[in-house]
Amino acid sequence: MPALGFGTLIPDPAVTVTATRDAVEAGFRHFDCAERYRNEREVGEALQTELAAGRIAREDIFITTKLWNTNHRPERVEPAFEASLERLGLDYLDLYLIHTPFAFQPGDEFDPRDQDGRVVYDKGVTLLDTWKAMEELVDRGRCRAIGLSDITLHGLLPVYESARIKPAVVQVESHPYLPETELLEFCNHNGVVLLAFAPLGHGMKPGLLGDPVISAIAARVGKTPAQVLLAWAVQRGTAVLTTPKTATRARENFDISALPEDAFDEINRIETRQRLNPVVETGVPGFIPQAG
């Protein structure tokens, strides 16, 4: 799995196509998708163009997509998986993730709410039930690895312990303000990849991109703050996702190199703590475009 991945959480379908092609051209070979992003067809279209032109080969790219919360019932897992595969135009996946550990009322409505606007959860299925259906996809050779997302160490442990096929990857928010050190140590000891999302703090201002420590290091090493943050993530042994939407940004975000040890340590000593995406604690989706 290439450590540096291109994230496809892009609300605009046309931008999804151009950004995905630009990412391939910049050198990205790892693509992170989701049923919930409602743009697997556009990602697939861009990848098919690049494959057909011979600029990439299927075995050289690593494709992930995710099972949405409304499809946790075991009988819904395979149909959801096959529908994603069809939209992407692929015949196998490299990695399939359970997007969040929260099961929602099954159905076509991605974000089921009651009359008071509260999310309608599905109490009739456990995470382990869903995991077993994920394991069957690996048994049948439909995907090469399975994992979880938006999960805490506390939530991961029971699945990890009971799983016949262990999670290969956990995808969580992680950046210098939320280093997830305990989870990373567990992952390192157990051969699980921690795949970080929001490495640039979702680009929020004020935020990581303007952090004085990051800006000073960027100036010192002749890189941009984004390059410093992405390099830090890889250097600490995580894989990382980034979402450049233009060709220039794609080239910038792909062009990372190891930081000097003192700069790396300085980032590790940043004390600000901030979680940007509360989904892991609340079960309520955030930062996902509602329309599309």
Query: Residue 278: how many CB atoms within 10 A of its CB?
Result: 14
Residue nearer to ligand NAP on the CB measure, 14 or 53: 14
CB-nearer residue toward ligand NAP: 112 or 283:
283
Binding mask 156-195 for ligand NAP (x = CB under 6 A): ---------------x------------------------
**Residue number, 209 or 214, with CB nearest to ligand NAP:** 209
CB 118, CB 111: distance < 8 Å? no
User: 3-class SS at 44?
Assistant: helix
Q: 30, 67, 249, 256: which one contacts ligand NAP (CB under 6 A)? A: 249
Query: Which is the catalytic residue, given 37, 96, 160, 177?
Result: 37
3-class DSSP assignment, residue 114: coil
Q: Which of 7, 44, 101, 147 binds ligand NAP (CB under 6 A)?
A: 7
> What is the separation, in whole angstroms, between the first and last Cα of the chain?
29
- Across-strand partners of 5? 241
Does position 275 bind ligand NAP by CB under 6 A?
no
Q: Which of 79, 107, 124, 203 binds ligand NAP (CB under 6 A)?
A: 203
Nearer to ligand NAP, 43 or 124 (CB): 43
Give the pair of three-digit tokens for residue 272.
């600000």
Write out the binding residues for ligand NAP, residues 115-154 only, by CB under 6 A.
149-150
Are the C-beta atoms of 170 and 195 separated by less than 8 Å? yes
Q: Does residue 226 interact with ligand NAP by CB under 6 A? A: yes
Long-range CB pairs of 153-159, under 8 A, 24+ apart, other chains included:
153/182, 153/183, 153/186, 155/101, 155/127, 156/183, 156/186, 158/127, 158/128, 159/127, 159/128, 159/131
Cβ 201 to ligand NAP shortest distance, Å: 5
Applying CB under 6 A, does 8 fall inside the site for ligand NAP?
yes
**Annotation marks residue 37 as catalytic:** yes
Residue 81 half-sphere exposure, CB side, CA atoms within 13 Å? 31
Count of H-run helices and E-run strands, the chain: 11, 8
Residue (77 or 170) nearer to ligand NAP, CB: 170
Residues annotated as catalytic are 37
Residues that bind ligand NAP (CB under 6 A): 7-9, 32, 149-150, 171, 197-203, 209, 224, 226, 241-245, 249, 252-253, 277, 279, 287
